[in-house]
Amino acid sequence: MSFYNLDYEEKRFIQLAKKNTRSYYEHHDQIPSSPGQVELAKELAKEMEELGLDAYYNEKTAFAIGKLSANTAEKVTPIGFFAHVDTADFNAVNIKPQIHENYDGQKIILDEKDNIVLDPTEFPDLLNLRGQTLITSDGHTLLGVDDKAGITGALAMLKYLTEHPEIEHGDVFVAFGPDEEIGCGGQYFDPADFPNVEFAYTLDNGRPGDFEYDTFNASEVTIHIRGTVVHPGEAYGLMVNATTLMNDFLSNLPQDQVPEKSRNHDGYFLVLHAQSNVDHADISMIIRDFDQSEYNRKEQFIRDLVKKMNKKYGNRFTVNIREQYENIYNYIKDKPYIVNLALDAYRKSGLKPNVQSFRGGTDGNFISPKGIPTPNLFNGGGNYHGRYEYVTVEQIDKLAEVLTNIVTEHLRQTRTGRNEKPLEKYW
């Protein structure tokens, strides 16, 4: 049994998936980074307006904004939802969604000639989707589940509420934004577009039931090393090889605090890029940690290591550490209602909540410091960002149900009392 309308959700998702809205980091100084995002955002603004919302496209931020006005006399704070229009760094030209009705749990040949196969022995989560309508790409592009499924779920929720005016609710805001995949979109968001919104949720990656309000603290580190070039035949006591210094620095990094040895609530150092010659060397790194004190210690470790190298080699290292985003938990921990409301809506929708840490960042990392605490729900599907992406219509439908239940539960708890049960650490 569907909550809303599976035919609508299937057709709308496929329409969205076919649109090339890939974002490009090399154009991150543009807002947005690709023209397809503008086209889709304006289309979504028009669609929300046709549904009866107050809607518009913000030219400065590239967000499509919609407001579904309250239909209750009850004084209830506005809430919001975010989904992003861009897709990840993978081929998004000529996307051809493939529909597999009543999926039987067997492998799916996406392209026989090129032997591209979606196989549940490799991706066992597929076995949980038997009997559902599975949507994939043809194996040569991504599908765009991230975040076209989130957009579809939000639209289905808005459509349901506008078609059922007997369902009371407060003001509901929706924003469809750009360039989440390159870490820029949330930075552009103008909170003036969400006036008086108390809190919001992103509809990003995750299976139905997943919920994240704990993300990384994140920093970008760049290190420059200055060498001294002398002809090797006359180098004794004079040459300082920047490559040698770089290797010494890298060898002093914690070898067990790297992504390939980290999981759950572990943080890490990651060397993204290192290049050198005798004259100079440059290192690009990132630091990630959930725990604020551990994150601070990691940043300090790098500063101390640079001081150690400068003492050893004579002030040849310079370092710049730029904080990229902050853990959403810092803005959620003292506001348990935001979490409890979502979990209550999950249970009302028949979902068993799966609270976990999000080993990455979302738009919520940038929106939360703007005064709108924004944890992450889910958008369904799996194998995001590549040729093996998939989603089911039923998962999108479940998202629409959860969003509707959040809206109605927020009004109910405003009347009867909020669930302010203190948060418990789950890690």
CB contact at 8 A, 85 and 40: yes
Q: Are residues 255 and 311 both part of a single domain?
A: yes
Catalytic residue, candidates 9, 10, 47, 86 = 86
Residues 6+ apart with CB under 8 A from 343: 211, 353, 355
Cβ 248 vs Cβ 309: under 8 Å:
yes
**425 falls within a domain:** no
Instruction: Indicate whether 321 and 249 sit together in one domain.
Output: yes
CA 237 to chain centre: 52
**Distance separating the N- and C-terminal Cα atoms of the chain:** 35
Asked if residue 422 belongs to a domain, the reply is no
Last residue of a domain, one of 288, 304, 325: 325
- Percent helix, strand, coil in the chain (nearest 5)? 35, 20, 45
Reported as a single tens digit per residue, the pLDDT across 170-210 is 999 999 999 999 988 999 999 999 999 999 999 998 999 99
Domain final residue pick, 284, 301, 325: 325
Question: Exposed, middle or buried by CB within 10 Å (0-12, 13-18, 19+), for 157?
Answer: buried
Q: How far apart are CA 253 and CA 309, in angstroms?
A: 12
Q: Name the stretches of the chain with pLDDT < 70.
A: 1-2
Helix (H) or strand (E) holding 80: strand 79-84
DSSP-derived secondary structure for 272-325: EEEEE-SSEEEEEEEEEESSHHHHHHHHHHHHHHHHHHHHHHTS-EEEEEEEEE
Q: Is residue 343 part of a domain?
A: yes
Specify whether 86 is catalytic: yes
Element at 248 (helix H, strand E): helix 242-251
Last residue of a domain, one of 270, 301, 325: 325
Instruction: Give the DSSP H/E element, type plus range, for residue 49.
Output: helix 35-50
- In terms of residue numbers, what domain contains 313? 223-325
Output the pTM of the full model: 0.92
Distances (CA, A) of 71 to 162, 166, 370: 10, 9, 27
Cβ 66 vs Cβ 114: under 8 Å: no
Q: Could you say which of 47, 147, 171, 180 is catalytic?
A: 180
**CATH number of the domain within which 169 lies:** 3.40.630.10
Domain count, the chain: 2
Q: Does 122 lie in the same domain as 146?
A: yes
pLDDT value at residue 2: 64
pLDDT in the model for residue 1: 44
Q: In terms of domains, do 37 and 167 share one?
A: yes
In a domain, 300, yes or no: yes
Judge if the upstream peptide bond of residue 147 is cis by omega within 30 degrees of 0: yes
318 plus 341 within the same structural domain: no
Give the number of C-alpha atoms closer than 13 A to the C-alpha of residue 277, restricted to the C-beta side: 3
Are residue 320 and residue 350 in the same domain, yes or no? no
Question: 267: how many CB neighbours lie within 10 A of its CB?
Answer: 20
Task: Specify whether 229 is located in the same domain as 205.
Answer: no
User: In this structure, is residue 282 part of a structural domain?
Assistant: yes
The continuous run of DSSP H or E covering 68 comes out as strand 63-68
